[in-house]
Amino acid sequence: MAKPLTLVITGYGINCEEETSYAFKIAGAEPAIIHINDIIENKKMLRDYSILVFPGGFSYGDDTGSGKALAGRIKNNLFDEIMDFIRRDTLMLGICNGFQVLVNLGVVPATDGFTGISQAALEYNQSFRYQCRWVDVKIENDSPCVFTRGIDRMHIPVAHGEGNFYAPDDILDLINSKKLVAMKYVKQDGSPASGEFPFNPNGSLLDIASVCSPDGRIMGMMPHPERGMFFTQRDDWTRLREDYIRRGDELPEFSDGIQIFKNAVSYFK
């Protein structure tokens, strides 16, 4: 089976493209990092790829709001091609700043279809500070999301200043009724964060950490799975190492984040 070709976008302040590309490579994909300008110059290249990824970073320095400027550049130059990409049996992932871009493009949550109209926002953290820490998330298993299949919980890093998910009440009702929440922030014991800091690091409504499109093929998430792929990347790995040693168990190589990328690759098998 051929490895799914994965296009990882870079340029204008995106700064997580290398580790995101590496994550897809480890998971079994064939990634390529390509500048957004090169895609605009050769729009047909999108036809060659099965997975399109918007990594984390600070595109355009978050000027005019996180993700807005890059989303505007895409809408003005690539929107028809993005819609053609979505109409094929493809996947799209936005991580952190990439999630913000997807929301501004209107491709998540897209409760009324892919109209290009933004239905939600990722606002300033309630702490009004950049939050860089490890959190716990619970996967909403009734969601159609392709990327979270077979996962229950994840211990995973966040690093953002604008991750506070907001949507009007009518849109929230549609998100819930269509089961478009892919993951929520929880406490360490798995109980709901209920907006409590630091378990919910940004104040997101309903503890939302990730949403997907109605068909489950597009997901945006604030946490960084590419930064939590390996066991030794965890903030608590030394304590867990002692637990494994005392039980006589072999230390795992990978941590929770890798499964997001493996699920994307498995979709095409």
Residue 224 annotated among the catalytic residues of the structure: yes
Residue 96 annotated among the catalytic residues of the structure: yes
Please state at what angle helix 79-87 crosses helix 68-77, rounded to 10 degrees: 80
The answer to whether 8 touches 31, Cβ cutoff 8 Å, is yes
9 forms beta bridges with 34
Q: What is the rounded CA–CA span in Å between residue 260 and residue 248?
A: 28
DSSP per residue, 131-163: EEEEEEEEE-TTS--STTTT--EEEEEEEES--
184 forms beta bridges with 138, 208
Q: Annotated catalytic residue: which of 16, 140, 212, 224?
A: 224
Cis peptide leading into residue 198 (ω within 30°)? yes
Closest among 29, 65, 93, 67 to 224, alpha carbons compared: 93
Q: Is 168 helix (H, G, I), strand (E, B) or coil?
A: coil
The answer to whether 130 touches 206, Cβ cutoff 8 Å, is no
Q: Annotated catalytic residue: which of 16, 17, 96, 162?
A: 96
For the record, the structure tokens of 129 come out as 């500070």
Residue 212 annotated among the catalytic residues of the structure: no
Q: Which helix (H) or strand (E) holds 35?
A: strand 30-35
Closest among 61, 105, 63, 65 to 220, alpha carbons compared: 105
Q: Catalytic residue numbers?
A: 96, 224, 226
